[in-house]
Amino acid sequence: SRNLEIKKAKIRIMKDIEMLRKTRPTAVNLFWALDRMKGIVEAHKENDAKKFYSILLKEAKKVHNEDIELCRKIGENGAYLVPKNATIMTHCNAGALATGGWGTALGVIYAAKKMGKKVHVYAGETRPLLQGARLTTWELQKNGIPVTLVVDSARATLLKKGRIDFIVVGADRIASNGDVANKIGTYPLALLARKHKVDFYVAAPTTTFDLSIKTGTEIPIEERGPEEVRAFSRIKTAPASVCVFNPAFDVTPHELINGIITEKGIITKPYKESIAKYIRVRKK
């Protein structure tokens, strides 16, 4: 019967939602999108399967279109911060391959170029999965942005030589005090930026904020398998028995961040008060 078909579909979708939720415990945006879809499933009471799937698809497209618009606004808000002739450093991938739109951190770079600013990007390779090398450099080249790939351990040399004017990264979760969880390697980059007096900005939609946690110490950090580090491109580079520490993310303390670029504007210190204000605006 139709009622049974809907019931089975709902059970399958709810299982899929829970499976996806477990894939990235650190990234709060994933939970936000999944909860949107979960709400649609729970609210649907009719027995028309075709209508049920149509409503789910409509909501998914709505989430996608909203993300495109969020990214556009983040890029435009952040572009004003970029110097006219800027050498920019970024980390991991916060572009079109990671979002529904043109990206968060990369969106700032694209918008700056659109404003007529001359930009050159240094992309950190982002060990161990090389998202910066594999994804960010490809995206930037496709969009006509001059880009230089740099190994993560060489970034300090560039900053020490005064070769970097501006740093912008994405975020996976932001605590209510402004601490930011992002791809592993972000925290040392923020420390280097502070040491060498280079502005360090985070670009993220307000959906990335998690006001249920007070500080970054409460953010769960995903740890990945040892083979990602013991091997490089499937070639063994370390003994099979060696222990490996492989966190996927780290947390950058809010005091190292110059500002958080959102679709609502740029959040600055004191972060606890500023974030609470911006999130209230979002909920309205």
Quickly count: other Cβ atoms within 10 Å of residue 184's Cβ.
Answer: 22
3-state helix, strand, coil in the chain (%, to 5): 50, 20, 35
Residue 48, C-beta contacts closer than 8 angstroms, at least 6 positions apart = 2
CA distance 71 to 62: 14
Residue of 48, 67, 172, 210 with catalytic role: 172
CA distance 271 to 150: 31
Starting at the earlier edge strand, list the strands of the sheet with 199-203: 147-150, 118-124, 85-90, 166-169, 199-203, 259-262, 265-267
CA distance 173 to 111: 23
**Is 172 a known active-site residue?**
yes
Residue 40, C-beta contacts closer than 8 angstroms, at least 6 positions apart = 55, 56, 59
Cα end-to-end distance, the chain, whole Å: 42
Task: Judge whether 98 and 197 are in contact, CB under 8 Å.
Answer: no
What positions carry a catalytic annotation? 172
